[in-house]
Amino acid sequence: MLDAISTVAGVALILTVLWETFETIVLPRRVTRQFRLTRYFYVYTWLPWSSLARKLKDKKKRESLLSFYGPISLLLLLAVWAFSLLLGFALIHYGTGSIFTGAVFPSRFGNALYLSGTTLFTLGLGDLTPASQLARVLTVLEAGIGFGFLALVIGYLPVLYQSFSRREVTISLLDARAGSPPTATEMLRRHTGEHGMNALLKVLEDWERWSADLMESHLSYPVLAYFRSQHDNQSWLGSLTAILDLCSLFMVGLEGVCQYQAKMTFAITRHALVDLSQIFNAPPAADGTYDRLPPEELAALRQFIEQNGFHFSDSNSAEVELTRLRSHYEPYAFSLARFLQVELPPWINHGTVKDNWKTSAWREQTVVAEPMAQEEHF
């Protein structure tokens, strides 16, 4: 009876790991089923890791700790898969009564585990070899699976880091255009004038494509969402929220501003945000648990817009429409930010905040060169 249970458990473990590997690495789409070994792995590793980070009062230390989670969890997941395959074949060897030539350990299961390890990792030491026909078949099968598993892992890591790099390049470009952290109002201020507005529409077009790429890559490889940006005041979620804020301002009716591109960018960016919140089981936050634009901030926003030469087409309906648009994405952004421990950008940066490109690791002061002739915009 024990041998049968061992065999069935080994087969089930191997099939589960192989299917998990296929869904995580090979299958280029979102997996909706709830019972997944990979899902539980991230649930039970992220919760204690994030809880430990919350206890750190120093922001830089907290961000540093959180930045380690993505790469480390990826390596740990691969190790869990490998050990599960190793254990699965050892259970089958043990359950089917495989015969070995030589003995490394006193127990039969210990020898089965050792043979499984040397086979999966293609060591081929020869001090313990299969002697029965079934044991030889299992050894050849495990060697083939181990070789294929190694090939998938080698191909998996470059794809992840290419997607991460592609994501971060566009986020870094916001530094000079929208400040650090990026905000919709700062982006609007730095693109005043005809040529600036044309450039801003091009930025929204680029972010429409960026959002589609983010949705495709992060739904296929959700671990990328845990990878932090290079700077503590930047994040993919914060940048995405700032773009949604800007699109909302355009869509409520700013005079002289083309709404079409803003609507297109808003649609795909919100789509990415909502789908990713579903991936991480982060339902939209309830009303009253957040407020990024309280009455005093809304008054400051109206004043800011007027001071920078913009006007609402209909001032009375603009606030109502802005509230409606914010309700379509802010609850999801707040919920994801709380889960991932990311700070959402404010609507307006009060005070003086230096852009990342203006600072140096050796001296905290503004650099001499300016990237644009219109120095007053910075």
161-180: burial string, b at 16+ Cβ within 10 Å, e else: eebbeebbebbbbbbbbbbb
Q: Where do the H-state alpha helices sit in 179-289?
A: 184-189, 194-220, 236-251, 260-279
- Distance from CA of residue 91 to its chain's centroid? 36
Please compute, for residue 185, the number of CA atoms within 13 A of its CA located in the half-sphere on the CB side: 18
What backbone torsions phi and psi does residue 30 show, to the nearest 5 degrees? -70, 140
β-partners of residue 312 are 254
State the amino acid at position 228 in one-letter form: R
Task: Find, among 84, 115, 104, the residue nearest to 11 by Cα.
Answer: 84
Torsion of CA 225, 230, 232, 235, to 10 degrees: -40
CA distances from 66 to 54, 228, 234 (A): 10, 8, 14
Q: What pLDDT does 2 receive?
A: 62
3-state class (DSSP) for residue 350: coil
Q: What pLDDT does 210 receive?
A: 95
Tokens 């192989």 identify what position? 18
Q: What pLDDT does 372 receive?
A: 44
- Distance from CA of residue 100 to its chain's centroid? 46
Q: What pLDDT does 377 receive?
A: 45
Q: What pLDDT does 345 receive?
A: 92
Q: What pLDDT does 331 receive?
A: 94
Residues 6+ away with beta carbon under 8 Å from 78: 153
Cβ neighbours around 49 below 10 Å, total: 18
Cβ neighbours around 340 below 10 Å, total: 20
Per-residue pLDDT of the chain (378 residues; tens, 9 = 90+): 668 889 999 999 999 999 988 888 887 777 767 677 888 899 899 999 999 999 998 988 999 999 999 999 999 999 999 999 999 999 999 998 888 888 888 888 999 999 999 998 877 777 888 888 999 999 999 999 988 888 888 888 888 999 999 999 999 999 889 888 899 999 988 888 777 888 888 999 999 999 999 999 998 899 999 999 988 889 999 999 999 999 999 898 787 777 899 999 999 999 999 999 998 989 998 877 788 888 898 888 888 888 888 888 777 788 889 989 999 999 999 999 999 999 999 998 876 677 777 776 555 544 444 444 444 444
CA distances from 171 to 29, 168, 227, 262, 268 (A): 24, 5, 13, 18, 17
State the amino acid at position 23 in one-letter form: E
Cβ neighbours around 8 below 10 Å, total: 13
| Tokens linked to 299 | 């008054």
Q: What pLDDT does 376 receive?
A: 45
β-partners of residue 56 are none
Distance CA 348, CA 299 (A): 11
- Distance from CA of residue 88 to its chain's centroid? 31
Tokens 């994030």 identify what position? 50
What backbone torsions phi and psi does residue 235 show, to the nearest 5 degrees? -165, 155
pTM of the full structure: 0.85
Q: What pLDDT does 328 receive?
A: 94
Tokens 């299961």 identify what position? 109
CA angle 259, 260, 265 (to 5 degrees): 100
Q: Would you say 62 and 49 are in contact if contact means Cβ atoms under 8 Å apart?
A: no
94-108: burial string, b at 16+ Cβ within 10 Å, e else: bbbebebeeeeeeee
| Tokens linked to 235 | 């994040």
State the amino acid at position 320 in one-letter form: V
